[in-house]
């Protein structure tokens, strides 16, 4: 039987330098979690991150489980580096599990578009429309991580904070997290990037949250957010 295992030197030589996708929190070939309460417009924040990447020439596949708002539709008009896809049932009585439709579309996109960066908006909605094990966001996160590691892609997963236990499960499964709480107009609020392994926190100005200048539009994500924090795990 052929030996498929590598010595340390061979393993190290096979690794490639990974790129920083977002503020030293979300890196290439990792899975990041963006989560917040339901009243926070997480789609605008996720789209901010996606558009910042596409503005730099990185193709992004944005999978949405609901029709984008008029504001978001206006912002993506003419973007030649952004794919937007909404998985749908084939008919009102389609017996398919929605999660299975989503993963089938994701695998097709990986194989046909050449895109290596994906945004999933949202894992909570996918679970709500699914049954059995697929009704668990944590189980879906495990499936996404399996997809990410198999194809060596980068995934940003959007989720609602439905419960502390549910959110903690998603955070533990992800490589990094972007946590956003209530919007506020106070300019003194900060976001932080925390290393989960060392538990050290580095404050950074909240205006460094995704760059808004290229978009030139007022949208909900332009509000200041308190307790917006980023965490990267050196697992």
Structure confidence by residue, pLDDT tens digits, 166-218: 999 999 999 999 999 755 443 333 343 444 444 444 333 333 443 322 332 33
Supply the pLDDT for residue 198: 41
Residue 196 sits in a domain whose CATH number is: 3.40.50.300
Tokens matching residue 168? 């903690």
Rounded Cα–Cα distance for residues 49 and 22 (Å): 7
Supply the pLDDT for residue 13: 75
Burial class (CB within 10 angstroms; exposed 0-12, middle 13-18, buried 19+) of 47: buried
Over residues 210-232, mean pLDDT: 42
Supply the pLDDT for residue 3: 84
Tokens matching residue 59? 């193709």
Supply the pLDDT for residue 11: 78
Q: What is the pLDDT of residues 137-161, one digit of tens each?
A: 999 999 999 999 999 999 999 999 9
**DSSP-derived pairing of the beta strands 31-36 and 176-179:** parallel
In a domain, 3, yes or no: no
In a domain, 89, yes or no: yes
Supply the pLDDT for residue 230: 65
> Which residue spans within the chain are E strands per DSSP?
20-22, 26-27, 31-36, 60-64, 82-85, 117-121, 154-160, 176-179, 183-184, 190-195, 200-205, 224-225, 228-232
Can you give the residue range of the structural domain that contains 100?
Answer: 16-232
Over residues 105-114, mean pLDDT: 97
In a domain, 99, yes or no: yes
Most confident of 10-14, 65-69, 100-104, 213-217: 100-104
**The total number of structural domains that make up the chain:** 1
pTM of the model: 0.79
In a domain, 117, yes or no: yes
In a domain, 9, yes or no: no
In a domain, 56, yes or no: yes
Is pLDDT above 90 for 126?
yes
Q: Is 37 helix (H, G, I), strand (E, B) or coil?
A: coil
In a domain, 6, yes or no: no
Q: What is the pLDDT of residues 67-96, one digit of tens each?
A: 999 999 999 999 999 999 999 999 999 999
Over residues 31-58, mean pLDDT: 95
Confidence of residue 233 (pLDDT cuts 50, 70, 90): low
In a domain, 185, yes or no: yes
């Amino acid at each position: 039987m052929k030996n498929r295992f590598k010595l340390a030197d061979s393993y190290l030589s096979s690794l490639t330098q990974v790129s920083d996708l977002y503020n030293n929190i979300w890196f290439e070939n990792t899975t990041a979690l963006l989560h917040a309460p339901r009243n926070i417009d997480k789609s605008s924040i996720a789209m901010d991150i996606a558009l910042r990447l596409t503005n730099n020439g990185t193709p992004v596949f944005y999978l949405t489980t609901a029709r984008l708002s008029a504001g978001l539709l206006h912002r993506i008009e003419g973007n030649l580096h952004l794919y937007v896809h909404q998985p749908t049932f084939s008919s009102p009585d389609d017996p398919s599990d929605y999660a299975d439709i989503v993963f089938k579309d994701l695998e097709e996109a990986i194989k046909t578009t050449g895109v290596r960066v994906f945004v999933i908006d949202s894992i909570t909605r996918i679970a709500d429309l699914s049954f059995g094990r697929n009704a668990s966001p944590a189980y879906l996160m495990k499936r996404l991580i399996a997809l990410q590691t198999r194809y060596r892609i980068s995934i940003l997963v959007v989720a609602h904070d439905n419960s502390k236990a549910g959110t903690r499960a998603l955070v533990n499964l992800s490589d990094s997290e972007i946590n956003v709480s209530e919007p506020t107009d106070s300019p003194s609020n900060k976001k932080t990037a925390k290393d989960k392994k060392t538990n050290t926190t580095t404050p950074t100005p909240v205006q460094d949250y995704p760059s808004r200048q290229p978009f030139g539009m007022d949208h909900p994500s332009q509000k200041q957010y308190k307790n917006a924090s980023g965490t990267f795990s050196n697992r």
